[in-house]
Amino acid sequence: MDKGSNIALLREQLGLTQAEFARDLGVAKETVCRWEKNRTAIRPRHIQKMVKLYGVTEDDILSDSIGLAAREALRSAKGEGLNPQTRDAFPILRIKRSGNGTSLQSVGATLTPSDIAERHLHAAYVQMNNKDMTLLYPQGTLLLVDPDVKPYNGCTVVATIDAVRVLIRRYSMGNNTIMLSTHSYDSTAPDLILDRRRVRIIGVVVWYRGAMDIV
């Protein structure tokens, strides 16, 4: 999902036409149209005005992976699942290249044991498709990630850095910094120590399973 999709969805959720949305922000209708088609950059002052007027966050507007459109797609995938008759189907997301960074993209859905599904209603699977975290999980594992669980030192998280790069890492927080470590046998990716303002936690890993049934 992209910034244009986030803005278009916000406007639709507010029940505003492009002209009404433009009037709120003090721009021309054509500017809103270009924003929604990703044909022009959004100036910081207009983003701040959206935050102030509509009660959204900058990530809601700017993030490809955790913006409004991405979360709506996640809800839709959760609602559809594998079968309209079950609530135990969760979407499977995979980290893929997107523009100058990476984002989460839906690649399917799978069933989850009912007792786990009931405790993590808003969760989704993220497939571990690289060598990070192999001290804990086999490569290819499906990690069940719950956005409602508060991260704690030592947990595994799916996070974004600067709203453009999605990572799976072991989490540890200091006073003003967050450490994201690879916890791997053979990954060449370094551990990261970042200002906490640069990091957004998508969710905490609460369970995991293989990518296919073992018989």
Answer yes or no: do 54 and 112 share one domain. Answer: no
Q: Kindly state whether residues 111 and 17 are assigned to the same domain.
A: no
Establish if 74 belongs to a structural domain: no
Identify the top-confidence range among 73-77, 87-91, 105-109, 114-118. Answer: 114-118
- Which phi and psi (to 5°) does residue 108 adopt? 155, -155
Give me the phi and psi of 168, to 5 degrees please. -110, 120
pLDDT in tens, 101-110: 888 887 888 8
Q: Identify the pLDDT of residue 76.
A: 58
| Number of folded domains that form the chain | 2
pLDDT(1) > 70: no
Tens of pLDDT along 86-105? 557 788 888 888 777 888 88
Residues of the domain holding 150: 82-209
Q: Is the pLDDT of residue 141 over 90?
A: yes
User: pLDDT class for 66, splitting at 50, 70, 90?
Assistant: low
CA 29, 26, 1, 54 dihedral sign is negative
In a domain, 146, yes or no: yes
**Is 83's pLDDT higher than 80?**
no
Whether residue 178 has pLDDT greater than 60: yes
- Report the alpha-carbon distance of residue 85 to residue 134 in Å, rounded: 35
Residue 109 counted as domain residue: yes
* 63: pLDDT strictly greater than 80: no
User: 80 pLDDT exceeds 70?
Assistant: no
Which pLDDT score is estimated for 75? 61
Q: Indicate if the alpha-carbon torsion angle 38, 42, 47, 49 is positive or negative.
A: negative
Tell me how far apart the alpha carbons of residues 9 and 63 are, in angstroms, rounded to a whole number.
13
Is 82's pLDDT higher than 50?
no
106 shares a domain with 19: no
Q: Torsions phi, psi of 21, nearest 5?
A: -65, -45
Q: List, for residues 144-164, the tens digit of each pLDDT value.
A: 999 888 899 999 999 988 878
Query: 204 and 151 in one domain?
Result: yes
User: In angstroms, how far is CA 8 from the centroid of its own chain?
Assistant: 18
Q: Is residue 75 part of a domain?
A: no
- Does any domain span residue 215? no
The answer to the question of residue 71 being in a domain is no
Edge-first strand listing for the sheet containing 89-98: 101-111, 89-98, 124-127, 142-146, 199-209, 156-161, 165-173, 177-181, 192-195
Residue 69 lies in a domain: no
Handedness of CA 23, 24, 29, 31 (dihedral sign): positive
pTM to 2 decimals? Answer: 0.65
Q: Are 199 and 159 in contact (CB under 8 A)?
A: yes
